[in-house]
Each structure stands twice: as structure tokens, then as C-alpha cells.
Amino acid sequence: MSTNQEHTDLHNTANLAANGNTSNEQQKFEQATRGMSHEEKANAQHAARFGYGPLAHMRTHEGNMLPAFGGEFQPGLYKPVEGRKFANPAPLGLSAFALTTFVLSLLNLNTRNLAGINSIVIGLAFGYGGLVQLLAGMWEIAVGNTFGGTALSSYGGFWISFAITLTPGGFEIVSSIEAAGGESAVLNSLGFYLMGWFIFTFLLLICTLKSTVAFFFLFFVLDLAFLLLGIAYLRPVDGAPSPGCTRAGGAFGILAAFAAWYNALAGIADTSNSFFIIPVAHFPWSEKGKAARAEKRDVEHQA
């Protein structure tokens, strides 16, 4: 078994080799990785750069990687999926999130004076937005999509916890908080809850900056929805969530729902079942965008 010193030596040697340093260091790296396959050597270089262990960021077969795609819930390059045993679970999770968010956002907008009547959302949050989305997230992990598994499983957990909190007479969460600290404690507690999800969504948003416009837009408007709803509870008006912030949060929630449905349709529709393919625009600084610019430059040079 390798010692810590051997790992350190390999770390230093691989970094120097990867950075194009002297041929002597390249020879040391070749000696340290003697007997390894080409893929194992590439992994050693990546591990040396990012550290050893389960958090090491290693990416192999880069020539076969596919560009970011919201329909697969992949914010960056990912491996082809032709040989996997599971179907694409992302559209299922996105659809579950979209429908539940759509209904709750309509209530937040006070559509047909239904604000505060959340009973229909509780059923959706338990069954579709919660359970089904959580299962889709677990399947994303099974197919090797860390981002999709983290996002869908977490939002599935969000809807289940939301439903548990709002279930009348069931878990008595709201009533117990109110008994201990009054109505203001309930508002502040729900505000903290929503702000926590705002922070989590912002972390995911950062990971979509090199993906597609539709993928980024989904997390951008969702993050604004959480922020505004959190503010509505933390800055109440007359002992109730701020109506203006609640409606604004509902409006961004509607946008998030349709953005999720758009990405879901992009993952479902193909030439075998649709007369058209859903367009996805890649950011210019994404891997796909840079490849398109390089191809355009090659064509111009040839002309």
C-alpha cells in the first residue's frame, strides 16, 4: 500500500509534469506511474491537482464528453449515456417540481382569491413534488449525475418537509411554534426556512453558469422566488407575510415552473417522438460555445 510520502511525491511530480515542467520531472512521473494504464495516469494527474479521496475532481475520456444539457440535468460536460441501464430520470423530476411549484405559485399570486388555501398543495407536495422527485433524484445518482441527484433529491425533500409543516393537525409544527413564541415566531421560522433554500439554490445556480440559458434561467428565477418569499415572512405587514413580496415570489415561481417544464420537454422530445427538437442555447463561455467559436474560426481560415 502506498505511504503518505509516496502520495506526496506523486502529487508534486504529477503537478510538475501536468504543468509542462522539465523532462526530468516528466521522467520521475513516468517512473512513479510505471505499470499504470493511460487512464490511470490521467486519474493520477487529476488527483494530484485536486487532492486524493472521494472529493477529488477527476474527469476522463474528455474527448467523448457531451456538452451541458438541461434535459439531462447536467450543468457541465458529461459522459454519453447510450450504454446505461436506466432511462433519463431528469424530465420526471423536473416535471414533478414544475407542477407543484406552478400550483403553489398561483396561490401566492392570490389567483381567484385562493391565497392561503394550501390544502391542494399539501397533497401534491407529498406525492408528486416530494416522493416522485426524490425518487428521480435517487435515479440520477444511479446514472452518475451528482448535480441532478443533489438538486432533485433536495427539492423532493423540500416539498416533503413543506407538506409536513403545513399538514393541519398532523404534526402540529406551526401550532407548537406559535404556542412557544407567538405568531411572529412562526413567520420568522418560515422566513429562515425559505432563506436556507435561497442559499442552497444559489449554490446550484453557480454550477449552471457554464451550461445553457434555459438551465441557468430555471435556477435564477427559482432563487429569486425563494428570496422574495423569505423576505415576505421576515418582513411581515400587519402580522402576515408581505403581500407584495409574496406575489412577486409567486410570479418568479411561475417562471421557474415553466422553465422546469421547458427543460423537461427538451429531455423527452427527440426525432422518434416529436416533429421538432427543443432548442437549447449554450452560453458563449461554455464548452459548447467555445467549440462553436473554434469551428467558426476554422471555417473562416479555410475560406
The 10s digit of each residue's pLDDT in 103-149 is 999 999 999 998 888 889 999 999 999 999 999 999 999 988 999 99
Residue 7: pLDDT above 60? Answer: no
| Domain boundaries, position 258 | 89-268
Span between the terminal Cα atoms of the chain, in Å: 57
Residue 278: inside a domain, yes or no?
Answer: no
Per the structure, how many domains does the chain have? 1
| H-helix segments, 128-240 | 133-142, 146-166, 173-181, 183-206, 213-234
Give the percent of the chain with pLDDT over 70. 75
Residue 39: inside a domain, yes or no?
Answer: no
Lowest mean pLDDT among 5-9, 176-180, 216-220, 293-297: 5-9
Give the percent of the chain with pLDDT over 90. 53
According to the model, what pLDDT value does residue 52 have? 39
Residue 178: inside a domain, yes or no?
Answer: yes
Residue 281: inside a domain, yes or no?
Answer: no
CA distances from 96 to 25, 44, 222, 223, 253 (A): 53, 40, 15, 18, 14
Residue 229: inside a domain, yes or no?
Answer: yes
Residue 303: inside a domain, yes or no?
Answer: no
Q: How confident is the model at residue 281 (pLDDT cuts 50, 70, 90)?
A: confident
Residue 64: inside a domain, yes or no?
Answer: no
Three-class secondary structure assignment of 44-67: HHHHHHHCCCCCCCCCCCHHHCEC
Name, of 27-31, 32-36, 262-266, 270-274, the range with top average pLDDT: 262-266
Residue 231: inside a domain, yes or no?
Answer: yes
Residue 43: pLDDT above 70? Answer: no
What's the chain's average pLDDT? 83
Q: What is the pLDDT of residues 230-274, one digit of tens each?
A: 999 999 999 999 999 999 999 999 999 999 999 999 999 988 888
Region of 263 on the Ramachandran plot (φ > 0 left; ψ -120 to 50 alpha; else beta): alpha
Q: How far apart are CA 289 and CA 294, in angstroms?
A: 9
CA 60-64-66 angle, to 5 degrees, is 105
Q: How confident is the model at residue 170 (pLDDT cuts 50, 70, 90)?
A: confident
Residue 295: pLDDT above 50? Answer: yes
According to the model, what pLDDT value does residue 259 have? 97
